Structure 1
Amino acid sequence: MSYSTDSDLEVKVKKATERISENMHIVANEPSLAFYRLQEHVRKAINPMVDRRVDVNKLHQELQGRCYDMEYAVCAIKAMDKAENSFKNIQDNLKNSIFLKQQLKYEESRRKKPDGNSVYKRLSAHITIDLPELPELSDVVRETANRVESMMKATHS
């Protein structure tokens, strides 16, 4: 029986050494497998992360630009508060100028009297020449009379 015991022992030793060898192989290769998995993960994740970082930087620059715009707008609004007195003065001056313009218009309308006795009308009343009917001539005379009247009004004003 010693022979059979030796064969069982031999099988058991062989199995044990195989397991030890397998475990040593796993333990020896485990760090490289971990590094492989890390490398694989980094390779897959790096491009999206770089794209996100570029997007974040771009958004950061846009945000900074908008912050500068807001600061400029706030300064402009504060400056407008300081200009309130100037705007009130402008408004008062506009009201006064409108009032004065209305007064001038009223005074002008009072001074102008319907002028039924123009120089031309008085002159033409004394002339008693009978001219033949010429339609072209009467239009020219009427136009000339209007011009003379307007010139006379301009010199009397």
Structure 2
Amino acid sequence: MSVLHQTDPELEVKVKKATERISENMHIVANEPSLAFYRLQEHVRKALPPMVEKRVEVTKLHHELQGRCYDVEYAVSAVKSMEGAEKNFDNIQELLKNAVFLKQQIKYEEARKNKKESSSVYKRLSAHITLDLPDLPELSDALRETANRVESMMAHARHSAGAELQRSQTIHH
């Protein structure tokens, strides 16, 4: 006995649609990972270069900031070390005042010495030598030179004695 199959056209259309949908879904599922990887690759290709540039920039800024932090730390330590130098600055100021005072004293003594030298006995004597001995210019020059040397030695002796006196006064103060 043979069974005749009669085909139902409506059923055939439904089966055909169902198999097409299954085939389409299988195709999507089979290709979904490669599509996802393609999208990821596309995203990485677009987003990576700007991210790398930003990372390089951030690293550079970090190094610059670190350098500036070291500079600030160094400046702060320098300022803090200067706080302890106040005593030294006061000492320097006192020494400068003393130096100015001593310079004024030296200037005064030199002015006094110059007044004395202009009225020196030896200079007056050497001035008269040319008048007294006009016939002997070599002798008068030699006498004048000798008088100048004696005057110079006397001035040096006075200056040394004055400086020694001043040192002893400074030590006692």
Higher relative contact order (CA 8 A, sep 6+): 1
Aligned with 1:94 (options 88, 93, 96): 96
Q: What is the deviation of 1:27? A: 2.9
TM-score by length of 1: 0.72
Q: CA deviation at 1:75?
A: 0.6
Deviations 1:50-91 (A, max 9, x none): 333233223222222221121111111111111111011111
User: Which aligned segments of 4 or more residues in structure 1 are displaced greater than 6 angstroms?
Assistant: none
Q: Which residue of 1 aligns with 2:65?
A: 63
Deviations 1:85-141 (A, max 9, x none): 10111111011111111012112312332337613212112113399xxxxxxxxxx
Question: If the length of structure 2 is used for normalisation, what is the TM-score?
Answer: 0.67
- Aligned equivalent of 1:138: none
| Number of matched pairs | 141
- 1:155 alignment partner, one of 134, 153, 164: 153
Which residue, out of 112, 127, 131, partners 1:121? 127
SS in 1 for 2:135: coil
Query: Distance in 2 between the 1:9 and 1:62 partners?
Result: 77
Equivalents in 1 of 2:150, 2:48: separation in Å? Answer: 94
Structure 1 gaps, min length 5: 132-143
Q: Does 1:77 align with 2:79?
A: yes
**SS at structure 1 position matched to 2:134:** coil
| Aligned residue identity for 2:9 | S
